[in-house]
Amino acid sequence: MVFAMLFIGSISPCFFIKTNKGEKGVVKMDPVMILLGITVIVLLYFIFRQPSKMLRLLGSGAIRVTIGVLFLFFFNVFAASFGLHIPINVFTVLISSILGIFGVTSLAAIHIFIL
């Protein structure tokens, strides 16, 4: 593992070097590509360091998003008789997955009082 990370870390800057053909010996590196390379190296380090923690984090996030979507769906089913509807999109799912029932009720309050 460590050898792979050292190997990737030592080779990766070679992929991001831009040279000007008009000037000899001058090497210019694009800052965006440098930051992208550093980000990729850090992400690979975290993935290969402890993949069980990363998978646990992704799994718990997926479960929370699923529960948030179900909260919104059942709210829309039961609140349809009152004329309330909260659209299921990225923002409402994020709010309901982070805040849970309180997020759904706050979205309903925003729908009633503001919209």
pLDDT for the residue numbered 19:
54
User: Which pLDDT tens digit goes with each residue over 11-65?
Assistant: 544 544 555 555 555 556 677 788 888 888 878 877 777 767 777 887 898 899 9
- The rounded distance, in Å, linking the Cα atoms of 51 and 6 is 18
Confidence category of residue 2, pLDDT binned at 50, 70, 90: very low
* Proportion of the chain in helix, strand, coil states, percent, rounded to 5: 75, 5, 20
User: Which pLDDT tens digit goes with each residue over 56-103?
Assistant: 887 898 899 999 999 999 999 999 998 889 999 999 999 999 999 999
Q: Is residue 3's pLDDT more than 50?
A: no
30: how many CB neighbours lie within 10 A of its CB? 12
CB 67 within 8 A of CB 103: no
